[in-house]
Amino acid sequence: MPSKPYGMICALSKACEIVEPRWTLLILNEIWSGYTRFSDIRRGVGNISPSVLSKRLAEMEKAGLIERIEDRAKGSVDYVRTQMAIDLEPAMDALAIWAQRHIDAEVALSDGEIGDMMQFFCQKVRTTDFPTRRVVMRLHFADETGPYPTWWLLAAPGAAPEICVEVPDFDVDLYVETTKVSWNALYYGRSTVAREIDAGRLFVTGDAVLLRSMDKWLPRSVYAEVEGIRMLPAAE
């Protein structure tokens, strides 16, 4: 995949030539998570342009990591992993665990587009632990410098939750004031609700049931329970 090989004959150098180009492992991770369509992969990966994603997918197909499946009747294209890519799962898993244990929380959590964060939150929030009625949540991120530091989550029984940046015509049940780093720390197990409140990075007020059950409905990474995880400092 790189234009110029390392010029070394060893197993590691050859593996790097296949998986090292930027975005490769992240694209595989999205497909691993069940996203097979171009638009879904791009949304999940983040700051990748359509042209770069197209190029990388073509390179990965050529390298044997993925298979491109076109359904002419539906006009759809899906990308699925080959066994070659599936065999990479233990290595990718080990890298994620290594990052949780060895990369400082402030560094690991500093990036992230607010729009992508909120879309992910909307998809993963555990609405089954909400009260069986409409729930409206207002989330404000003090460290967001873009045009939309405030977001609203709307969830109703029997319907998929929605996220928006326009003030909804409903009363708000829960107000959340935080930072992107603090919010991401909760997802990745780098902190807890209690620690973030004590540190002054998380302020929550509103419905008592939602407050009490926050640890239940907040989504958490599969790597949040890694032993030896490097935590966000308890106080600034």
Q: Residues of the chain whose pLDDT is less than 50?
A: none
Exposed (0-12), middle (13-18) or buried (19+): which is 16, by Cβ within 10 Å? middle
Task: Judge residue 52's burial from the number of C-beta atoms within 10 Å of its C-beta, 0-12 exposed, 13-18 middle, 19 or more buried.
Answer: middle
Query: What does the pLDDT read at residue 3?
Result: 57
For the stretch 90-139, pLDDT in tens is: 999 999 999 999 999 989 987 778 988 999 899 999 999 999 999 999 99
Amino acid 236: pLDDT: 53
d(CA 101, CA 95): 10
Domains, the chain, ordered by start: 11-87 (1.10.10.10), 107-217 (3.30.1050.10)
Closest CA to 53 of 84, 72, 79, 15: 79
What pTM did the predictor assign? 0.85
